[in-house]
Amino acid sequence: MKLRALAKINLGLDVTGKREDGYHEVRMVMQTIQMYDQLEIKESKEPGIRLTTNLPFLPCNDGNLVYKAAKLLMDEFDIRQGVDMNLTKFIPVAAGMAGGSSDAAAALVGINRMFQLGLTKRQLMERGVQIGADVPYCVMRGTALAEGIGEKLTSLPGVPMCYVLIGKPGINVSTKFVYGNLHLDEVTEHPDIDGMVQAIRNHDLYGITDRMGNVLESVTCPAYPVIDEIKAQMMKNGAVNAMMSGSGPTVFGIFDDPDKAEFARDQLKISGLSKQTFLTTVSKPGGTKYGKKGGRPAEGGVSVPAAPGGRVPHAAPGDSARGVKAG
């Protein structure tokens, strides 16, 4: 059985408070994109879980969320058979794109199917939060408002069709460092999450991009100036807007034109600012109806024809020759 574990970006990320248990309360708009890891699961007569990956530095025991997810279900349902799992990573590691959480979600879905456990998507999401706050969303996918510590999810209509340029600099950022250095009393600007949700409901791409914002940039960007440099590079080359995803360091730019997106990708690679560069699209887009650029959410908006199929292919394994995946 082969499964795809889709990456996500945060179109908007606000932190509203800190709980007594140390977790932060957030309000985020999450979006899956067509970039994915591959998880292959095979049933084995030999009991236990065996995990291999294409990255030698990743753990293959209970330090890996894939292993934890499989063990969670296999223990709960007393599954005596074993499984052999192979994880092929393409989503950048420690990049703020929920790669590990999405891999865990794929493991939950795969074990549920393989052993015919009969769990619903909602039941898988309820178990996923035991592994990580982003796992329930990664089971759900699509466009969603996430609240609480990220586990309270409201499904939203798909965002309009657009192109997503991903740039990850050659640095890793600790999520613990970012949240540990976030001082909410010093944050003066918060993204308009409610306005973004309304723009999504109105299928207004420019209303969405006008409201993109991430309070965690106030910590990560000063510590790693290359993030702002990548954002500026994307904006200079035609992005409607650009922002850091999650706690960083990955930057994404939203484009409404495939030619501009491809030009910006090439320029970003030439600049050397980004160690890993990908060009892809949103997952499950909600049509191609755009509002007015620079305006407020519009009722209706202007109808824009979809780009020709295949102009910007999905960020799938083995597409490096086409510029979709560049290491």
Q: Sketch out the chain's domains with CATH numbers.
A: 2-155 (3.30.230.10), 158-326 (3.30.70.890)
Average pLDDT over residues 118-144: 96
Q: How is residue 75 written in tokens? A: 């223990």
Q: Where does the pLDDT of residue 297 fall: very low under 50, low under 70, confident under 90, or very high at 90 and above?
A: very low
Among residues 156, 51, 164, the alpha carbon closest in space to that of 103 is found at 51
Q: Is 8 a catalytic residue?
A: yes
- Model pLDDT for residues 43-82, shown as the tens digit of each residue: 999 999 999 999 999 999 999 999 999 999 999 999 999 9
Average pLDDT over residues 160-183: 94
- Model pLDDT for residues 183-193, shown as the tens digit of each residue: 988 888 999 99
Q: Is 134 a catalytic residue?
A: yes
Contact indicator for 32, 8 with CB cutoff of 8 Å? yes
Torsion of CA 21, 24, 30, 34, to 10 degrees: -70
Q: Is the pLDDT of residue 14 over 90?
A: yes
Q: Give Cβ neighbours of residue 291 (< 8 Å, ≥ 6 apart).
A: 199, 202, 203, 204, 205, 206, 207, 297, 298, 301, 302
Q: What is the pTM of this model?
A: 0.86
Query: In whole angstroms, how far apart are CA 327 and each of 46, 169, 220?
Result: 37, 11, 23
Q: Is the pLDDT of residue 295 over 90?
A: no
Determine which one of 14, 37, 103, 134 is catalytic.
Answer: 134
Contact indicator for 133, 146 with CB cutoff of 8 Å? no
Maximum Cα–Cα distance across the chain: 60
> Which region among 10-24, 169-183, 281-295 has the lowest average model confidence (pLDDT)?
281-295
CA distance 38 to 55: 13
Determine which one of 8, 68, 89, 231 is catalytic.
Answer: 8
Distance from chain centroid for Cα 209: 16
Instruction: Provide the mean pLDDT of the chain.
Output: 88
Average pLDDT over residues 124-151: 94
CA distance 32 to 36: 10
